[in-house]
Homo-oligomer: A and B are copies of this chain.
Amino acid sequence: MLKEDLINSGAIKFGDFVLTSGKRSGYYIDIKSAYTDPKILDEIGLEISGMVKSGKIAGMELGSVPILVSVSIKTKRPFVIIRKDDLKHGTRKRYIGSINLNEEIDIIDDVATTGGSIMKAAEIIRNNGGIVKRAICVVDREEGAAEMLKENNIELYSIIKASELR
């Protein structure tokens, strides 16, 4: 259902694409343009909401924030926004919201590629006393994220896997 809507909305395009990494790809994903339509965001939020287990959710600035807020509203769970590294504001708190000691938090993201962004968010949550066991993304590109996160005790869940798009 959501997969077809993402294709119809232009969020997933098929063709011959050169990614910023230089790799070629048979599909191109642009969740960020699609989710500015509240109908699409609602569907994404609904599917992600069904996979949330912890009492709080977190996401990395900026791409995951609309999904995070949609899931927060649907599940009535508070959210944490992890800020990107920003040398200009070195002393600034690295997140918006609260992280309590030994509180379990699920991480939400739009697209998982290598898992670097999710891992960064997990490190900041863990360094501030929180517990991370699960991450949920819309699209898993299957380029190593699940394996890398598993080594770091995080289970990755997704709505759509790249292998389903080929």
Chain B residues contacting A76 (CB-CB under 8 Å) are 38-39
CA A61 to CA B64, docked complex, whole Å:
12
Chain B residues contacting A70 (CB-CB under 8 Å) are 69, 73
- Asked if residues B42 and A96 are in contact (CB atoms below 8 Å), the reply is no
- Asked if residues B65 and A96 are in contact (CB atoms below 8 Å), the reply is no
Chain B residues contacting A62 (CB-CB under 8 Å) are 61-62, 65, 81, 83, 96
A residues 33-57 touching B (CB-CB < 8 Å): 33, 36-39, 41-42
- Asked if residues B66 and A36 are in contact (CB atoms below 8 Å), the reply is no
Chain B residues contacting A37 (CB-CB under 8 Å) are 78
- Asked if residues B38 and A73 are in contact (CB atoms below 8 Å), the reply is yes
Q: Can you name 14 A-B residue pairings with CB atoms under 8 Å?
A: A32-B96, A33-B97, A33-B98, A36-B72, A36-B79, A36-B97, A37-B78, A38-B77, A38-B78, A41-B72, A42-B73, A61-B62, A65-B66, A66-B69
Residues of A whose CB lies within 8 Å of any CB of B are 32-33, 36-39, 41-42, 61-62, 65-66, 69-70, 72-73, 76-81, 83, 96-98
Nearest first, the 6 closest Cβ-Cβ pairs linking A and B are A36-B97, A69-B69, A66-B69, A38-B72, A32-B96, A65-B65
